[in-house]
Amino acid sequence: MSPCRASLLLAGTLALAPIVAGCRQAEPEVAAFEAAPAYFELAFPQMREIELRLEPLVPLPAVPDEGEKPIVFVHLLDEPGSVVRTFDHPLPASWTPGRPIVWRVRVHQSALGEPLEPGEYLLTAGVHRGGHRVALRTAAERVARLEYRIATVSVPAGAEGGTVPLARFSADWLPPEAGVDRQILARRALAAGAIGTLQFGPVERSGRILLGVLIPESAGPAARLEILDGASQPKVRIGSTCGGGQPEIAGTGRFDVELEVAPAAGARICEVTIAPNFRITSSESAQATSVRLEVLAWEPDEDGPAG
C-alpha cells in the first residue's frame, strides 16, 4: 500500500484535506540530478563554470509536440522567486534512460550589462519540455515548484584582488541596445562593412575571454542578409592580441567563442578584432549592420601567473 493511501485510511476528518493535497502534488521523478561546485564567487565581469550531471530514469512524460527538446533552466536569484539572470539551454544530448549526461554551463556577469549588487545569490536549475517542468531525484533543496537550489553564488564588491577589466569599443560599434530578457541583458551591433575592435582589460593573469556572437538570419523583406566576399555562407573571423589563434565561425545563429589569454608578465589590455563578411539591411532601420555581440565576460585561471 502506498504511503499516501495509508495516510488517507488513517486520517481523521480534519486532517484529510491537507493529506489529499499533498498526495496530488507528488510527481514521479524522471531523472537523477546533481551539480558542482555548491559555492563559487562571481565578480564583474567574470565567468564561472558549473558541472551538471543528469541521468534519465524513465522516458519523459508525453507532450503535444513530442519532437520538442528538453530545456535545462538555470536561474540566478537574489531571493526565492526573484530572477536576476538566466542561463537556460537545450539539454545537450538525447534523453535515454540509464545513460548519464554530464556537461558544463557558463554562468557570467557580462561586461555589456550592469554589475550585480554585491551579496549572496541562489543558483537554481530544473528541466522542462513544452513548458511542463519535470521532477528530479536530487539532494538539492527545492525552492519552487520543481526548481532546485544547486549552488550559492557570492558577488564580491569589485574584482578579486585586482582591477576590474573594462571594455572599450571602437567607433564602428553602434550604441548598446537593451536585451530582450534576463539571459541577454544588452547587445551591440557592428556597422556593416567594418572590422570591429574592442579593448578588454587590464587582465592580470592567463585565462579566457568569452564572446557571445550572434549572426542573425535573414528575415524576409524586413531584414536581408547579404554576403560581401562571394562566400557560400556568412562568416566571422576573430582575433586577439592576447593569444587564442584566429577562430572563424560560419552560418547563422548564436555562437559562444572562447579566446585563450596566454600567460604573460604584468597586466595588459587585450585587443579583440571581429571581421564579418556580410551585412544586414532592414526596412526598419537606416543603419546597415552585421554581427552582434551579446556576451563579453572573462575567466581568469586560478593558478595562472598574476601581474
pLDDT-derived band of residue 219, with 50, 70 and 90 as boundaries? Answer: low
- Verify that 174 and 266 share a domain, yes or no: yes
Q: What pLDDT does 105 receive?
A: 97
Distance of alpha carbon 22 from alpha carbon 43, whole angstroms: 41
Does the structure show a pLDDT above 80 at 177?
yes
Q: Which residue has the cell 509536440?
A: 65
Last residue of a domain, one of 112, 127, 155: 155
CA dihedral 147, 148, 151, 152 (to 10 degrees): 70
- pLDDT of 93 > 80? The answer is yes
Q: Which residue has the higher pLDDT, 66 or 30?
A: 30
- The count of domains in the chain is 2
Same domain, 228 and 150: no
Task: Measure Cα distances from 291 to 6, 27, 166, 278 in Å.
Answer: 62, 44, 21, 8
Asked whether residue 3 is assigned to any structural domain, the reply reads no
Range of the domain at 277: 166-300
* Grid coordinates given for 182: 534576463
Task: Look up residue 44 and give its three cell numbers.
Answer: 564583474
Q: What is the mean pLDDT of residues 68-88?
A: 93
User: Which pLDDT belongs to residue 285?
Assistant: 76
Considering the domain architecture, whether residues 94 and 36 belong to the same structural domain is answered as: yes
Q: Under a CB-based contact definition with an 8 Å cutoff, are residues 87 and 74 in contact?
A: yes
Residues 116, 170: one domain?
Answer: no
Torsion angle (degrees, nearest 10) of CA 158, 160, 163, 168: -70
Q: What is the mean pLDDT of residues 240-261?
A: 93
**Nearest Cα residue to 105 out of 246, 214, 210:** 210
**pLDDT reading at 114 higher than 70:** yes
> What confidence tens digit (pLDDT) does each residue in 6-48 have?
443 444 444 444 444 444 457 899 999 999 999 999 999 999 9
Residue 176, preceding peptide bond in cis (omega within 30° of 0)? no
**Domain membership flag for residue 140:** yes
Cell 550589462 appears where? 113
- Residue 4 in any domain: the answer is no
Peptide bond into 202 cis (omega under 30): yes
pLDDT band at 62 (very low <50, low <70, confident <90, very high): confident
Which domain CATH number covers 245? 2.60.120
Asked whether 207 and 297 are in contact (CB, 8 A), the reply is no
Residue 92 maps to which CATH number?
A: 2.60.40.2550
133 lies in a domain? Answer: yes
Kindly state whether residue 90 falls inside one of the protein's structural domains.
Answer: yes
What mean pLDDT value characterizes the chain?
88
pLDDT for residue 18: 45
Residue 170 sits in the same domain as residue 294 = yes
Last residue of some domain: 105, 121, 155?
155
CA 43 to CA 251: how far, in whole Å?
33
Model pTM? 0.86
List the beta bridge partners of residue 20. none
**CB contact at 8 A, 107 and 153:** yes
Q: Are residues 79 and 180 in the same domain?
A: no
Closest of 198, 202, 210, 208 to residue 266, by C-alpha:
202
Q: Residue 159: what pLDDT?
A: 59
Of the listed ranges 110-124, 173-187, 247-261, the one predicted with least confidence: 173-187
Tell me: cis bond preceding 97? Omega within 30 of 0 counts: no
Mean pLDDT value of segment 107-116: 94
Q: Binning pLDDT at 50, 70 and 90, where does residue 61 land?
A: confident
If asked whether residues 149 and 33 sit together in one domain, one would say yes
Highest average pLDDT, of 139-153, 219-233, 271-285, comes from: 139-153
78 in any annotated domain: yes
Domain's final residue, options 93, 124, 155: 155
125: pLDDT strictly greater than 80 = yes
- Give domain status of residue 184, yes or no: yes
Residue 217 falls inside a structural domain: yes
